[in-house]
Amino acid sequence: MYRKQVCFPPIYRKSILSVSIILFCVNFCFSQKQLTKKEKLTDFEYLYQELKASYPYFGINKRAYKTDWLAKKSEYIEAIKKTKDDKAFFNVFNDIMNDLHNGHTDAYPTIIYSYFYDAYKQAVAQHPIYESHVKELEKTDSIRSKYWEDINHELFFSDTNVENTAVESTNNTYENIDITFIDSLKTASIHVKSFSYDYLDQDADTLKYFFNKAQAYENIIIDIQGNDGGSTEYWIQNMLPHLINDTISTPVVYAFKNSDRLRKFKPNYFENMITYDEIGLPNTPEELKNGSYLFRRDDMTIVPSEDSQKYLGKVYLLVDNVVFSSSETLAFFCKSTKFATVVGEKTSGDGVGTDPLLLTLPNSGIVIRFTGEMGLNPDGSANDETKTIPDISIEATDMKERRKKLLSHIQHKK
């Protein structure tokens, strides 16, 4: 996902101030008023119908997790009825969302509302399509979101959810990047911990330095273990373009539902669509064959940097089961184009697609995001279901051991 003081003329200031006071009182009252049972159930029904119309992964959820989310409606309703206050409601609501088992489907746009709002607001200038995201977020506000964050802080910000994994020392260590040049193995290695949009410009010069110097080495390891994504622009702009001198691309196929929310957030999906027969891929999920999905084929393209030259050595992409979202997209691209040999363990998938859809619940103001399309692997399987399978599998207990085993593989190939 991508990521101003307004001065009013004097004549408007009094009325603006009065309106602001009224709005603050309304929001303050909301933060003190518990939702009624009817309001909670209305919000759930709204969520249920919107997901039923637009969410693509119910079949995958049944196969992978034995969870028929749509069939559990009555169970969810009974759980909501038993909640005594807003905190209990949000706990149950969060459990209901977790039953979908998808890392892009959650209430984070509520819990870190300002991050999402500022990011999409900034993105609109370059990508007007994100105006729908901004408008959806503006159906609630930061005060209502702060209310939900405050009463459920431990659900999302518990220290027990933070995993500290030891990383081997390197020649050059930056905030988000570790670099090693191993002359004895003629290998240049870079570990990129996150593709967060926050690092997009910050890391650009460091990445250019590394890939330019790495041209002198026979092997390059791009280590994205532990990287759970961020922005695809990070690697599309700052990494692969330094290693090519010709444009490279791979076709990408999306399956999606014909819903109003999809048409609102992703209108381009409904242009130049293809039929199921035109996909021409084996191993597609059964649910794609019954006419309930539409299909689109795009090209994912990487353009070389102006001063880049083609790298003639061997490129390894080192992955683990944390790799997800935009870092998964890199794994998908490398395997699809054979740009790099993918090494490590099966990823977490869900990297073939665009930004999640947003949905604001009418009574609570809770904003959720959810995946809007099913991206397909080159063999037709769903990327969220089968993930990316490495070309070379490495069993290891942690990132450090997996990295050492890859270096051992390179050493024995000499």
Does residue 305 register a pLDDT over 80? yes
Instruction: Output the average pLDDT for the chain.
Output: 89
Gap between the Cα atoms of 107 and 152, Å rounded: 11
Give per-residue pLDDT as tens, 334-360: 999 999 999 999 999 999 999 999 999
pLDDT on residue 23: 39
Gap between the Cα atoms of 7 and 25, Å rounded: 23
> pTM to 2 decimals?
0.86
pLDDT on residue 159: 45
Gap between the Cα atoms of 154 and 157, Å rounded: 5
Does residue 11 register a pLDDT over 80? no
Token pair listed for 260 = 């109003």
pLDDT on residue 155: 65
Confidence band (pLDDT; 50, 70, 90) for 146? Answer: very high
**What contacts 389, CB < 8 A, 6 or more positions away?**
346
Question: Angle at which helices 142-151 and 113-123 pack, to 10 degrees?
Answer: 140
pLDDT on residue 10: 25
From the list 408, 329, 404, 389, the residue with the least C-alpha distance to 166 is 404
pLDDT on residue 36: 98
Does residue 320 register a pLDDT over 70? yes
Mean pLDDT (whole number) for 36-41: 98
Residue 335, SS3 per DSSP = helix
Give per-residue pLDDT as tens, 163-198: 333 333 345 767 999 999 999 999 999 999 999 988
Mean pLDDT (whole number) for 203-217: 97
C-alpha separations of 63 from 21, 53, 326, 346, 398 in Å? 52, 20, 24, 18, 28
Does residue 90 register a pLDDT over 90? yes
Q: What are phi and psi of 367, to 5 degrees?
A: -110, 125
Gap between the Cα atoms of 340 and 220, Å rounded: 9
pLDDT on residue 154: 67
Gap between the Cα atoms of 169 and 159, Å rounded: 25
Confidence band (pLDDT; 50, 70, 90) for 151? Answer: confident
Contact indicator for 298, 201 with CB cutoff of 8 Å:
no
Mean pLDDT (whole number) for 274-294: 96
Instruction: Identify which has the larger pLDDT, 136 or 158.
Output: 136
Mean pLDDT (whole number) for 129-148: 96
Does residue 144 register a pLDDT over 80? yes
Contact indicator for 335, 349 with CB cutoff of 8 Å:
no
Quickly list DSSP for 97-157: HHTT--TT-BSHHHHTHHHHHHHHHHHTTT-GGGHHHHHHHTTS-HHHHHHHHHHTHHHHH
C-alpha separations of 30 from 39, 143, 371 in Å? 13, 9, 29
Q: What are phi and psi of 361, to 5 degrees?
A: -75, 135
Gap between the Cα atoms of 362 and 81, Å rounded: 18
Q: What are phi and psi of 84, to 5 degrees?
A: -95, -20
Does residue 17 register a pLDDT over 80? no
**What contacts 97, CB < 8 A, 6 or more positions away?**
105, 106, 107, 368
Instruction: Identify which has the larger pLDDT, 24 or 223.
Output: 223
Domains of the chain with CATH codes: 35-156 (no CATH), 172-257+293-349+387-413 (3.90.226.10)
Contact indicator for 52, 64 with CB cutoff of 8 Å:
no
- Strand partners for 281: none
pLDDT on residue 157: 61
